[in-house]
Amino acid sequence: MSSKKTPLPPFEIANEEAQADWKPDQETFLINWMKEKVIAHGEGRATGTFSKNEWLELRKDCYKKWGLKYSSKAFKNKFTGLKERFKEFKKLVEAASGLGWNPLLSTVEATDLWWNEYAK
């Protein structure tokens, strides 16, 4: 029995998905891809986003990996959503006394006292 996958049509002629449904592994891939680009080009990117060619490269990378062709708008919306989540998370960690970040476990840390007060 052969378990060969049907080859994907070329990216240029593949149909776009009607709606992006981001799975956790896809989101992680997207975040890591963006992180690599920022590191490669420096954090002081003039526009705070990515070039048209970089977005296309990302779309093609995701298509090769999962066979999903999301629109440019879907990627940009996800990017905006991730930025908003990061801002809210950062605000929570910085503003709430008693909270910290454990980089080894990638978790928020809080004392029992903080949790007891927060749960009231």
- For the chain, give the number of residues: 120
Residues 59 and 72 sit within 8 Å (Cβ to Cβ): yes
The answer to whether the pTM exceeds 0.75 is no
pLDDT digits (tens, 9 = 90+) for 12-65: 877 888 788 899 999 999 999 988 888 887 755 656 678 889 889 999 999 999
**Integer angstrom CA distances of residue 87 from 75, 80, 82, 84:** 18, 11, 9, 5
pLDDT digits (tens, 9 = 90+) for 65-118: 998 888 888 998 999 999 899 888 888 777 766 777 788 888 888 888 888 888
The residue extents of the domains of the chain are: 23-37+49-94
Local structure of 101: helix, strand or coil:
strand
